[in-house]
Amino acid sequence: MLDKPKGQKFTEEAKAIVLEHLSDEHFGVSELANAMYMSRSSLLRKCKKQTQLSASQFIRQIRLEEAMELLQDSDLTVSEVSYRVGFGSTSYFIKCFREHYGHPPGEVGNHSTEEEEGKKLPKIPFYKKYQWLIGIASIVLIAVLVYLLIPSSPTPNEPMKLEVDKSIAVLPFKNESSDSTNQYFVNGLMEASLGNLQKIEDLRVISRTSVEKYRNSDQNIGEIAAELNVNYIVEGSGQKVGDQVMLNIQLIDAITDTRIWGEQYTQEVVDIFAVQNEVAKKIADAIKAKVTPSELEQIDKKPTDNLAAYDYYLKAQEPFNRETIDGLLEAIPLFEKAIEEDPQFALVYADLAIAYYYLDLYKKEKQYTETINNYADKALLYDSKLTESLIAKALYYMHIGDYRLAVPHLEKALEYNPNASGVVNILSSIYSNALPNTGKYLEYALKGIQLDVADNNITQSYTYLHLSNALVQSGFTDEALFYIDKSLEINPDNPYAPYLKAYIRYAKNQDIKQTLNTLKRELRKDTTRLDILQEVAKLHYFQREFDSAYHYYKPFSDIRKSQGLGIYPQEDIKIGYTYEKMGHQEEADSLITAYAEYCENDQSIYQPASMAVLYAYEGKYPEAIEQYEEFSTKNHFMYWMILFMTMDPVLDSLKSYPGYDAVIQKIEDRFWENHDRLKETLEEKGLL
């Protein structure tokens, strides 16, 4: 019997291994190399030689081929297939499938891209307000520097490359009606045009909040396009006289400052939806953007057949987007009137759910839980593919703290609206805090900065701070330094940027004294900063300077206790160990007990690492090593784990125990494998 050619044998063996791990989204190049007993570089060379593909492309091709078979031979939904073949994101699976086969997976057989209710879902209006919360969330995350940063990354000191070829901004339309009260109607025309364009994945469409500042601007097209980092600008004006609507709209190539398409429309109000849909198609055609059949279906969909209901909906948008409690309370009755006119108006049900979500947002005792859920369910009932419907349901799950159920709805929202910047930013926030995953945190932070160009210096400074934090958590220290410097350049008074920059610099030079001095300077600016107070204490703690650590931990602990604050529970073992060293055993025991309760209730990926520290403190060394072994299997944990984890004095007695060095090396290797794989993925998606 003849042996198979070496190339064929290699590809068959590699394919068999990939198929064995098909559903594991984290099985990538490094894992395949290990399984084939090859170095990563050897695998890359051999794969390129035998298949003319990179190793990651080879793995993805196998996944896509298996996906095609499942779609043809099973009744699984597209989303179910995507997870079966190892894609963590259904939207990315659809994109890859379309690029490989020339059509989306939903066109194979009778498969739908929908899932049963409660799995995933689509758009977003009211999210400038939530972006502020995202900034705060990133600040909290930075403040909760449980572990901290890393050695320097081998990446270049330059910003990410942004894809601008088919990038577009729709400027606020001008109201040419003699009656200024018609402004709401003209704004509605702009919103509809923007919303339709956002449904086209081949375009990058800047968010509404980013363009709002140009409503009364005297800047020219070139200046606006440069600020928004886009190649195309849509300008429009309209007026409503009785039942007649007149609309002028044009598409401008910002690079050459030339009009490449424009049209005037005079229509009956009843035909306004047809005009809005036609505008989106003609703009896409002028830019030569690919529009899929499913995207056309979404663009052609009418929100309602009842013009009175639509008018109430449009009137509600200005107060709704005002981002204040008073604005929401003004919008809600208008939404309710729209529902009276059309009881099946899905978009209005969704906006009502969103409005009540924000009314409850800051309240300790929630009042509108069932109201939010009921409106979200009605929105999904009448249009399960509507972006706002899916957002509404996701916000309900966030309202009750069930983020794992919120995520699939948000991911589905991006399938129907790839340019939904608010959805992207919420996902980034979720993966930074509620469901920690540094890889997804960074991916969504990078997507968000492409879609949402901040409308003022303060917001933009926090946007760059947020991105810098996401970058450094995944080991991209040079890029993180670039964006934290931009954050400070735009707003030197940003109180959190110097804090983060101190740790990014530590990641590069590992000078703990310099970091400590920088943080002490920041603390002197504002002695009420509990986040910095405990960080200064921690850096003394890491250097075994327990008297100095106690000097800062004591006021931090006293304030936390007197004000009933539940912040930084993960730090209790450090504070307790410091108290113990200073002879305050009773307080120490109380803090260690609190830390043990924290570990027991922690459901994040960091739980094993936290338990390992507790076991080390208790002298249970085999159990501590076992917990670190478990942690070494986790993916996408924070960069700061690598450095400061081993500096903890509690671990001093564990370091001589057999297996300690090996498991710590495993954790470091795991981090860098994730880093390399993430870098490759982000580069393939054009995000890095």
Q: Which of 36-40, 60-64, 311-315, 657-661 has the highest mean pLDDT?
A: 657-661
DSSP per-residue codes, 554-593: HHHHHHHHHTT----GGGHHHHHHHHHHTT-HHHHHHHHH
Q: What is the dihedral of CA 463, 464, 465, 470, to 10 degrees?
A: 90
b/e sequence 600-627, b meaning 16+ C-beta within 10 Å: eebebbbbbbbbbbbbbbeebbeebbbb
Residue 242 has pLDDT above 60, yes or no: yes
Q: CA 481 to CA 673: how far, in whole Å?
A: 22
In this model, does residue 73 exceed pLDDT 50? yes
- Structure tokens that stand for 447 in this block: 């997507």
> Tell me, what's the pLDDT at 157?
40
186-190, 257-261, 284-288: range with lowest mean pLDDT: 186-190
Greater pLDDT, 336 or 36: 336
Nearest Cα residue to 64 out of 10, 33, 104? 104
Average pLDDT in the chain: 83
Strongest mean pLDDT among 110-114, 201-205, 641-645: 641-645
Predicted TM-score (pTM) of the model is 0.59
pLDDT at position 357 is 94
- Give pLDDT, residue 453: 65
Out of 86-100, 130-144, 344-358, 425-439, least confident range = 130-144
Q: How is the chain split into domains, by residue range?
A: 6-107, 167-288
Indicate whether 303 pLDDT > 50: yes
What end-to-end distance do the CA atoms of the chain give, in Å? Answer: 49
Q: Inform me whether the pLDDT recorded for 124 exceeds 70.
A: no
| Cα-trace Rg, the chain | 27
Of the pLDDT bands very low, low, confident and very high (cuts 50, 70, 90), residue 566 is: confident
At 456 the pLDDT is 58
Confidence at residue 277, expressed as pLDDT on a 0 to 100 scale = 79
- Choose between 122 and 190: higher pLDDT: 190
SS3 at position 251: strand
Q: Number of C-alpha atoms within 13 angstroms, CB side, residue 214?
A: 27
pLDDT of residue 669: 94
Helix (H), strand (E) counts: the chain: 32, 6
Task: Answer yes or no: is pLDDT of 131 > 60.
Answer: no
* Mean pLDDT computed over 527-542: 95
Domain 167-288 bears CATH identifier 3.40.50.150: no
- Give the residue-averaged pLDDT of 497-511: 93
Phi, psi (degrees; rounded to nearest 5) at 201: -65, -30
pLDDT score recorded for residue 589: 96
In this prediction, residue 393 has a pLDDT band, given cuts at 50, 70 and 90, of: very high
For residue 501, CA distances in Å to 394, 468, 487, 514 come to 33, 9, 10, 12
In angstroms, the CA 297 to CA 426 distance is: 26
Rounded Cα distance, 647 and 638, in Å: 16
Give the per-residue pLDDT at 101: 85
Of residues 72 and 535, more confidence is placed in: 535
Tell me how far apart the alpha carbons of residues 206 and 7 are, in angstroms, rounded to a whole number.
47
* 71 pLDDT above the threshold of 80: yes
**pLDDT for the residue 110:** 52
Q: Are 649 and 616 in contact (CB under 8 A)?
A: no
Measuring CA to CA, which residue among 539, 540, 560, 684 is closest to residue 145? 539
Q: Does domain 6-107 have CATH number 1.10.10.60?
A: yes
Q: What is the mean pLDDT of residues 362-390?
A: 92
**Residue 29, φ and ψ in degrees, nearest 5:** -65, -45
Q: Is the Cβ–Cβ distance between 442 and 470 less than 8 Å?
A: yes
Cα 533 from Cα 240, distance rounded (Å): 59
Distance CA 648, CA 272 (A): 65
What mean pLDDT is predicted for residues 511-529?
93
Helices 128-143, 457-473: crossing angle, 10 deg rounding:
50
Quote the CA–CA distance of 521 and 543 in Å, as a whole number: 19
Number of Cβ atoms within 10 Å of the Cβ of 383: 21
Question: How far is 679 from 211, CA to CA, in rounded Å?
Answer: 31
Strand 244-253 with 232-241, pairing: antiparallel
The pLDDT of residue 622:
97
Which of 205-209, 508-512, 540-544 has the weakest average pLDDT?
A: 205-209
pLDDT recorded at residue 455 = 52
**CA–CA distance, 142 with 481 (Å, rounded to integer):** 15
Residue 493's Cβ-count burial label (10 Å; 0-12, 13-18, 19+) is: exposed
Q: Picking from 224-238, 540-554, 629-643, which range would have the lowest pLDDT averaged per residue? A: 224-238
Q: What pLDDT does residue 477 have?
A: 92
Could you tell me where the DSSP H helices lie in 417-529?
421-432, 438-451, 457-473, 477-490, 497-509, 512-525
pLDDT value of position 156: 35
**Encoding tokens for residue 426?**
């919420």
Q: Which residue is associated with the tokens 């499913």?
A: 294
Residue 8: Cβ within 10 Å count:
11
Residue 570's pLDDT is 93
User: Can you give the pLDDT at residue 457?
Assistant: 65
- DSSP E strands, 126-243: 167-170, 174-175, 204-205, 232-241
DSSP 3: P
Longest dimension (CA), the chain: 89
pLDDT digits (tens, 9 = 90+) for 431-475: 887 888 888 889 888 888 777 665 556 777 888 888 999 999 999
Range 308-347 burial, b when 16+ CB lie within 10 A, else e: ebbbbbbbbbbbbbebeeebbebbbebbebbbebbeebbb
Q: What is the C-alpha to C-alpha distance for residues 85 and 92, in angstroms, rounded to an integer?
A: 12
pLDDT score at 502:
95
Q: How high is the pLDDT of residue 70?
A: 87
* Contact yes or no for 409/121 (Cβ under 8 A): yes
Can you give the pLDDT at residue 133?
A: 36
Q: Is 568 left (phi over 0), alpha (psi -120 to 50) or beta?
A: left
The C-alpha angle with vertex 507 and arms to 680 and 646, in degrees rounded to 5, equals 100
Q: Kindly tell me if the per-residue pLDDT of 641 is higher than 80.
A: yes
Tens digits of per-residue pLDDT, 597-629? 999 988 889 999 999 999 999 999 999 999 999
| 87-91, 95-99, 294-298, 683-687: least confidently modelled range | 87-91
> Can you tell me the mean pLDDT for 27-55?
81
